[in-house]
Amino acid sequence: MKPGLQQHTGLRQELRINPRLYQAMDMLYMPMMELQQHLKQELLTNPFLELVEPEEEEQSNDSTPDQEKEKAEKEREIDWEEILLNGFDVGGSRQQFEAQEYVEPVCVETPDLVDHLRDQLQLLMLTPRQRLLGEELLGHINDDGYIATSLEDVWRSANTFLLSSLPPQEDEEDEDDALEERDESAADTPAAGVPRREAPEPEFGGDAAPGVPFFTMDEVEEILAIIQRLDPAGIAARDLRECILLQMAEDPKADPMAVQLVREAFEDLKAHRWNDLARRYEVEPSAVQGAADTLARYDPKPGLQYSNRSDGYIIPDLVVDKVDEQYHVFLNDTGVPRLRLSRSYQDLARERGKLTQENREFITTRMNSANWMIQAIEQRRQTMLKVMNFIVDRQRPFFEKGVEYLKPLTLREVAEVIGMHESTVSRVTNEKYVQTPRGVLPLKFFFSSALATASGEEASARSIRAKLQKMVGEEDLSKPLTDQQIVHLFQEQGIQIARRTVAKYRDQLGILPARMRKRV
């Protein structure tokens, strides 16, 4: 072969996605809140876009073409007299600015569980050592209100902090000896590349400094007992059993049988072994079960009531409303900024011959971007309406009768009907919500897999779960339905389902097995 550079010509097809298409897909993916922020950012960066006020939109809908032309001519006129009277302040008079003063909202930090406990600790008569150890314990309490680590780790962490926070205690007589020891240690330092032996973990015995002893495990347990008596009851527990016992200690109406069961036979209690517990304590099984029922009034996660987690508010992107026995779909875009091309910059673009090459390129780029942005918003609106209209037509039995009549639906089916790609439908339904007569639901709610029926039709997996929940809710509590019995009931309705599928759906719904649902 002869080496060298060669040139060849050829034709080939490639699929390349330009940045505008990427942005269009991102806009389709955005829920309502993100879209609002995105459009507001575009208004700041692109001078060719301007916001259409609601009043202007209403006036434009009611005005005639002649009125619109006259209004446009008036807008182009410049009131030089007004500008001169206001001292060349083209934005208006000073009184207008003072009347429209705006105060930027400031985020305020809300107190959380640790703040609530710290406020109570400050009201107690504690020693400085107890306060320091109490702060260390508060730092190990999670949002649920439990101690997230072992007491040994808390003890070790507190002593490490105590050791690092104390100033070095060296006498003047020992300064020379300390310098000599440091020089000797420097001489004995291994050369580069030689691994250095790590220092052993300090043993917290004796004193950290003269007159300052290390913390002991007894002190840790003492401050833990103090914190466990704070509000809310059950706080700073190490497990669920201790959490319930702490709440029972503060409850004057606690059942003595329930206290004994939690303290001595908590594992059997969790497994609902009523007969075994009845024989062990020589009582009736119904008495054991009645005592266990009283545990429902105790909070398994007492710290969550003081958690600083903010509520997640949902703004539906679509609205389905029933008008004259027909379901209509509306886009809930009242909060989305209405954009249009700026008239002043359009006039500027018409006079490109008077501008430099750099300015012409800037105007062309920004105007094309503004036009494309307005088109992308309208395309997003039409795509979402197409998808939701098909869902309403397909799932009409659900809107009429309930979730048990929900039909199976896939993204591919929707994509084939509306003539779009499956990935586009997936972006439309992602993190989008719709307000319906049956509540606010995510669009993903209407999509589920199918199960075969005896009639040849298909049933939605979500409707099967709803029917399963209804069966369990109507069962005889003394003889609860087993998974196999539920399979037979579904077969009587013409639905073919396996027992393991029933068990999987039961776990997803949080329904216990038949043995643990039984009432004696």
Predicted local distance difference test score (pLDDT) of residue 206? 62
- What's the length of the chain? 520
DSSP 46: -
Alpha-carbon torsion (118, 119, 121, 127), positive or negative: positive
Measured distance CA(186)–CA(191) in Å, rounded = 11
The one-digit pLDDT tens for each residue of the chain (520 residues) are 567 787 878 887 765 555 556 566 666 667 777 777 777 777 777 777 777 765 555 555 555 555 565 555 555 554 544 444 444 444 444 444 444 444 555 555 677 888 888 889 889 888 888 888 888 898 888 888 898 888 888 888 888 887 776 665 554 444 445 445 444 544 444 444 434 444 344 556 666 566 677 778 888 899 999 999 998 899 999 999 999 999 999 988 888 899 989 998 888 888 888 888 888 888 888 888 888 888 888 999 998 888 766 566 778 888 888 888 888 888 887 767 677 777 766 666 666 666 667 777 777 777 777 777 777 788 888 888 888 898 888 888 888 888 888 888 888 888 888 888 888 888 888 888 888 888 888 888 888 777 766 665 667 778 888 888 888 888 888 888 888 888 888 888 888 888 888 888 888 888 888 888 877 7
How many CB atoms are closer than 10 A to CB 47? Answer: 16
CA 474 to chain centre: 34
- Domains of the chain, by residue range, sit at 113-163+207-305, 451-520
User: Is residue 120 left, alpha or beta, with left meaning phi > 0 and alpha meaning psi from -120 to 50?
Assistant: alpha
Phi, psi values for residue 442, rounded to 5°: -75, 150
Q: How far is CA 46 from CA 360, 362, 520, in A?
A: 15, 11, 72
Residue ranges of alpha helices (H) inside 353-482 are: 357-394, 396-401, 411-418, 422-429, 461-473
Measured distance CA(19)–CA(24) in Å, rounded = 9
Q: Quick one: which of 256, 257, 232 has its CA closest to 246? A: 232
Measured distance CA(151)–CA(242) in Å, rounded = 14
Predicted local distance difference test score (pLDDT) of residue 209? 61
Measured distance CA(469)–CA(176) in Å, rounded = 81
Do 312 and 304 meet the contact criterion of CB atoms below 8 Å apart? no
CA 285 to chain centre: 43
Helix (H, G, I), strand (E, B) or coil at 237: strand
DSSP 408: P
Structure tokens at 314: 């949902």
Superfamily of domain 451-520: Homeodomain-like (1.10.10.60)
Cα–Cα–Cα angle for 154, 159, 302, nearest 5°? 20
Measured distance CA(164)–CA(136) in Å, rounded = 14
Phi, psi values for residue 20, rounded to 5°: -65, -40
DSSP 128: H
Angle between helix 357-394 and 422-429 (nearest 10): 80
CA 97 to chain centre: 40
Do 446 and 454 meet the contact criterion of CB atoms below 8 Å apart? no
Predicted local distance difference test score (pLDDT) of residue 29? 66
Pairing mode of beta strands 207-209, 49-51: unpaired
Q: Quick one: which of 379, 382, 373 has its CA closest to 341? A: 373
Helix (H, G, I), strand (E, B) or coil at 452: strand
Stated pTM of the model: 0.62
Measured distance CA(56)–CA(76) in Å, rounded = 16
Q: Quick one: which of 75, 79, 96, 101 has its CA closest to 88? A: 79
Extended strands (E) in 29-186: 49-51
Do 460 and 334 meet the contact criterion of CB atoms below 8 Å apart? no
Do 434 and 443 meet the contact criterion of CB atoms below 8 Å apart? yes
Predicted local distance difference test score (pLDDT) of residue 243? 92
